């Protein structure tokens, strides 16, 4: 049995992502309970905030370096990490369930012929085994599972596990491994950022609009409320399919899974496919003129009323409080 856990860190534009710090804290907690050695690995060119990883209690950090690895390359990253995991006999692998993690984890699992539990929202230890909880049936139920394979891969849902800075973290050993000619047969050529906008997948506050908005010309109401709260704009699939909003904003089963602190659903009915993407938000506020709309069944606070009256009043009041 291996006694080592490895965290695969995701970087974008030379910065380790917040969700990876959450993976580190989840790994450190498992390591304490199971008495495991911890290590974090990443691939990229120059990584500007690698030192921050040490604040979360990791003991060793390895950076696979090559200018060709600046953007995600499924072929190169899979090979580099799989080889390293095999050579060093890691028993547990953890990474965030972002687009990167969702793509990479199954590739590594296939090569290592091991089990993989994706999108976990809780990890507990029972009898020396990791028991992972993950949502199933589009978030309708929670499923607990453990893995029997020698190597176990877990992906953690972003914004669910807390990134915890440890008291007096020890300086980890740092290792840079230059990669000569990575296999770049598949690679991400370009990331297109929505200019100046917060990404729903990473936002702490999201205000989402649905078909209740009646048309794209009314989405400024959502943008203004999101702006007042300092949050991102999200959308239901109905409005994305209608071409009112870009797909990057879609929340749900075929859109993004989000776990913000606050999710405000405006004129969204709460179809199961929408709930699949947002029901793990910490606080859900729903505004809908139909008091029986399913969205109210998951809401912590509900306002049964007309969004065209409520959103402007709410925006104004939030601006007044903040000023
Ligand atoms: P509607 O269901 O039409 O709801 C509009 C709501 O607005 C209603 O509840 C109404 O009462 C309210 N309303 C209307 N006027 C006002 C007003 N003036 N004030 C207040 N409230 C008002 N959907 C997603 O969102 N994300 C997904 O990822 C997704 N994936 C899917 C995958 C599959 C395979 C399938 C089959 C469907 C998927 N859907 C997804 C679609 C989903 O089933 C719903 O059709 C969609 O979520 C409905 O969007 P909506 O709530 O905006 O619209």
pTM of the shown model: 0.83
- Ligand 1 in reach of 212 Cβ (< 6 A): yes
- Ligand 1 in reach of 267 Cβ (< 6 A): yes
Q: Determine contact, residues 278/265, Cβ cutoff 8 Å.
A: yes
Q: Determine contact, residues 251/258, Cβ cutoff 8 Å.
A: yes
For 221, counting Cβ atoms within 10 Å of its Cβ (0-12 exposed, 13-18 middle, 19+ buried), the class is buried
Cα→Cα distances 68→20, 85, 240, Å: 21, 21, 34
- Ligand 1 in reach of 213 Cβ (< 6 A): no
CA of residue 217 to ligand 1 center, whole Å: 18
Ligand 1 pocket: which of 268, 305, 310 to mutate (most atoms <8 Å of CB)?
A: 268
Atom number, ligand 1, closest to the C-alpha of residue 307: 19
Ramachandran assignment for 210, one of left (phi > 0), alpha (psi -120 to 50 degrees), beta (any other): beta
Residues 6 or more apart in contact with residue 156 via CB below 8 angstroms: 19, 22, 23, 26, 94, 95, 96, 97, 120, 121, 123
Q: Determine contact, residues 82/111, Cβ cutoff 8 Å.
A: yes
Atom number, ligand 1, closest to the C-alpha of residue 295: 9
- Ligand 1 in reach of 236 Cβ (< 6 A): yes
Q: Determine contact, residues 207/264, Cβ cutoff 8 Å.
A: yes
Residues of the chain with pLDDT under 50: none
- Ligand 1 in reach of 138 Cβ (< 6 A): no
CA of residue 13 to ligand 1 center, whole Å: 35
């Amino acid at each position: 049995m291996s006694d080592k856990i490895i965290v695969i860190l995701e970087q974008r534009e030379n910065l380790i992502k917040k969700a990876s710090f959450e993976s580190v804290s989840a790994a450190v907690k498992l390591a304490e309970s199971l008495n495991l050695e911890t290590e974090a690995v990443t691939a990229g060119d120059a990584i500007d905030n690698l030192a921050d990883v040490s604040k979360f209690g990791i003991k060793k950090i390895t950076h696979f370096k090559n200018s060709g690895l600046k953007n995600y390359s499924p072929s190169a990253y899979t090979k580099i990490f799989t080889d390293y995991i095999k050579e060093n006999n890691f028993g547990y692998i953890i990474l965030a369930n972002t687009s990167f993690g969702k793509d990479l984890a199954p590739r590594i699992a296939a090569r290592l012929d091991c089990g993989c539990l994706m999108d976990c929202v809780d990890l507990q230890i029972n009898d020396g085994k990791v028991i992972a909880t993950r949502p199933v049936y589009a978030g309708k139920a929670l499923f607990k599972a453990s893995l029997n394979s020698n190597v176990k891969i877990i992906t953690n849902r972003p914004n669910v596990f807390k990134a915890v800075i440890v008291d007096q973290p020890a300086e980890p050993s740092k290792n840079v491994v230059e990669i000569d000619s990575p296999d770049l047969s598949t690679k991400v050529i370009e990331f297109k950022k929505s200019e100046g906008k917060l990404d729903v997948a990473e936002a702490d506050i999201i205000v989402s609009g649905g078909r209740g908005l009646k048309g794209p010309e009314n989405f400024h109401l959502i943008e203004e409320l999101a702006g007042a709260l300092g949050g991102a704009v999200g959308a239901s699939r109905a409005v994305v399919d209608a071409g009112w909003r870009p797909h990057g904003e879609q929340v749900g089963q075929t859109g993004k899974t989000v776990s913000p602190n606050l999710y405000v659903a405006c004129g969204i009915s709460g179809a199961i496919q929408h709930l699949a993407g947002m029901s793990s938000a910490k606080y859900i506020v729903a505004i809908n003129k139909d008091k029986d709309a399913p969205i109210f069944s998951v809401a912590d606070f509900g306002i049964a009323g007309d969004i065209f009256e409520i959103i402007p009043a709410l925006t104004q009041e939030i601006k007044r409080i903040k000023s």
